[in-house]
Amino acid sequence: MKKNVLITGGAGFIGSHVVRLFVNSYPDYHIYNLDVLTYAGNLENLKDVEDKPNYTFIKADICDHEKMDSIFSDYNIDGVIHLAAESHVDRSIKDPFSFAKTNVLGTLSLLQAAKTYWNGDFENKLFYHVSTDEVYGTLGESGFFTESTAYDPHSPYSASKASSDHFVRAFLDTYELPVVISNCSNNYGSYQFPEKLIPLFINNICSNKPLPVYGKGENVRDWLFVNDHARAIDVIFHKGKIGETYNIGGFNEWRNIDLIKVIIKTVDKLLGRPQGASEKLITFVTDRAGHDYRYAIDSSKLKNELGWEPSLQFEEGIEKTVRWYLDNKDWVDNVTSGNYQKY
């Protein structure tokens, strides 16, 4: 079936993987990638699909409601996969306002545009909101976040994402807008901006720069290969039940310090350095304010109801990821120098 699908934030890390997957897998769909190109948006991430006939890039800000209204009618949008956001916790601690603006007001302006344009005719329409496990807050040593875990965000980033999730559900309850939400754990893989732990540390190891480990490095995250997240989004977009929430996770928990040692080992091996040589770069620094201790996702609903499972073992995923950053030094250099903004 033909569809016009609006993917927001498609020039970012996860968005670029979702755009690539949809453009290549669904030649009958037209994929509109809407992105304002903040520091995190990079059209180089999509070089391989930019000339495909079923792909169009639209430079626009989701907070511009008049523009969102016109995009829905100009392109006759049937489905939305909404990823555009400010996404980095440390930036949200320094500048919470831009997180409230993009993540809350931007989501609201898209919801309003969908409601206005679809105007009660919701057949074959879907507004899919991509969210995070951070809305659930933090876990102790045991237990998992499920879809019924109460929201308890601690950072301005997670508070803004929690608020956007509430607006999405409010549009279902109040206007019957067909919505679905997923909450995913930490992603890793190619094209991630090197401010996040894994690409930052790979890059710093290569350049022999210090590796700033927050606190004692004891916080735990549940890591998922980004292509598996994109596959989950595909499954939920096509088979998810309207009004439902699906948790997405890797069943793959790592203490930061243990993960960092795996990254060091892998980079050292691939660069031909003596094993563990770069451990001397580990530098313990002041902890992140409000640092959530542990995230762990129970994604059994997604597995049991829609048949999705992570496809890749972590050891394989991390080696693939390190190799990608080593083999794509031009991409890393462009991103770190700011040249990508001229692409």
Residues near ligand NAD, by CB under 6 A? 8-9, 11-15, 35-38, 40-41, 61-63, 83-87, 102, 106, 130, 132, 161, 184, 186-187, 193
257 binds ligand DAU (CB under 6 A): no
Residue 15 interacting entry, from ligand NAD, ligand DAU, none, C-beta within 5 to 8 Å by type = ligand NAD
Rounded CA-CA distance 65/83 in Å is 17
Contact 281, 208 (CB under 8 A): yes
Closest to ligand DAU by CB, 288 vs 323, is 288
- Annotated catalytic residue within 35, 133, 228, 292: 133
Residue 113 interacting entry, from ligand DAU, ligand NAD, none, C-beta within 5 to 8 Å by type = none
Backbone torsions φ then ψ of 26, nearest 5 degrees = -125, 75
Residue 41 interacting entry, from ligand NAD, ligand DAU, none, C-beta within 5 to 8 Å by type = ligand NAD
**Which positions from 3 through 42 interact with ligand DAU, judged by CB under 6 A?**
none
87 binds ligand DAU (CB under 6 A): yes
Rounded CA-CA distance 309/304 in Å is 9
- C-alpha closest to that of 186 among 199, 205, 168, 171: 199
Rounded CA-CA distance 93/77 in Å is 35
The yes-or-no answer on residue 121 being catalytic is no
Options 52, 65, 67, 88; binder of ligand DAU; rule CB under 6 A: 88
The yes-or-no answer on residue 292 being catalytic is no
Phi-psi region of 338 (alpha: psi -120 to 50; beta: other; left: phi over 0): left
The yes-or-no answer on residue 325 being catalytic is no
Rounded CA-CA distance 333/81 in Å is 30
For the CB of residue 133, give the shortest distance to ligand DAU in the complex, in Å: 5
